[in-house]
Amino acid sequence: MATTFETRYASSPQAVKKYDTQELRDEFLIPDLMIAGEIKWVYTHYDRYIAGGATPTTSDLVLETIDPLKSDFFLERRELGIINAGAEGTILVDGTAYKMGHKDALYIGSGTKEVVFKSSDKNSPAKFYMNSAPAHKSYPTKHVTKSEANKIELGSLETANHRTVNQMIIGGIVNTCQLQMGMTELKTGSVWNTMPAHVHDRRMEIYYYLDIPQEQAVCHFMGQPQETRHIWMNNDQAVISPPWSIHSGSGTSNYTFIWGMSGENLDYNDMDVAKITDLR
């Protein structure tokens, strides 16, 4: 099949405290989103958020509905954000072509019926990383290149967290119902992301890690601030972050991650910061 999906149910912080390493990975790690020639989805019960990957190779891939949606087409009641983590490709949206360079973003509004994914070179395919959330209104499709992102410089080399936040699918750039997406790139010599860590209890989030060099890895930290856990991650893997959990990471080299979120509001700064010295 060209399209596959799995479902992840919500977990309480009390239950997660008792998980061993494998249980933690089974619950939150998404290890295999980018499968050549396929579309893969993970439907979560955190705000009905869906993460997916489309990797077209020898043939185009068509966005099809999946059973949990109980809809005639995928975007009947949903909006979709896409960031290309691979080589150049094209996305057809109801017949209009959008050329997607490396790290370009595309927002597609609710009501769109036909979405087709193409790679410019089957031997060096595009890797379309996708996030989707329920939508109550239809907003126009919009293409956002990396150069058009709102860029925020954070951290410093001295604290090993000098990074550029590229806000791409976010208010002021794209109108959305509740979906937000962007990409954070760490500078050479920096390894910590989202530090100081924070919780936003009114929203959930998913991180997708890329640009991790071969033989290197990222340790993703999650859990309540006073009860943290960690998951070791490799390139092109994603991790689900519940509303009650911090989401931070440190790598054995610098790297990039794509963040996506939805929930109660569209306030990017809606967060409760945890002091570094208070983490346990």
Sorted by where each begins, the domain ranges of the chain are 3-9+20-278
Q: Can you tell me the distance from the alpha carbon of 262 to that of 183, in angstroms, rounded to the nearest whole number? A: 15
Backbone angles phi, psi at 158, to 5 degrees: -65, -30
Which residues 6+ apart lie within 8 Å of 239 measured at CB?
A: 28, 29, 30, 206, 207, 209, 220, 222, 231, 233, 247
Q: Can you tell me the distance from the alpha carbon of 204 to that of 8, in angstroms, rounded to the nearest whole number? A: 14
DSSP state of 212: P
Which pLDDT does position 127 carry in this prediction? 98
Report residues of the chain scoring pLDDT below 70: 1
The answer to whether residues 177 and 220 touch, using CB atoms and an 8 Å cutoff, is no
Superfamily of domain 3-9+20-278: Jelly Rolls (2.60.120.10)
Which pLDDT does position 1 carry in this prediction? 62
- Across 2-125, the runs of DSSP E, i.e. the strands, are 3-8, 29-30, 39-44, 50-54, 61-62, 78-84, 89-93, 96-100, 105-108, 115-119
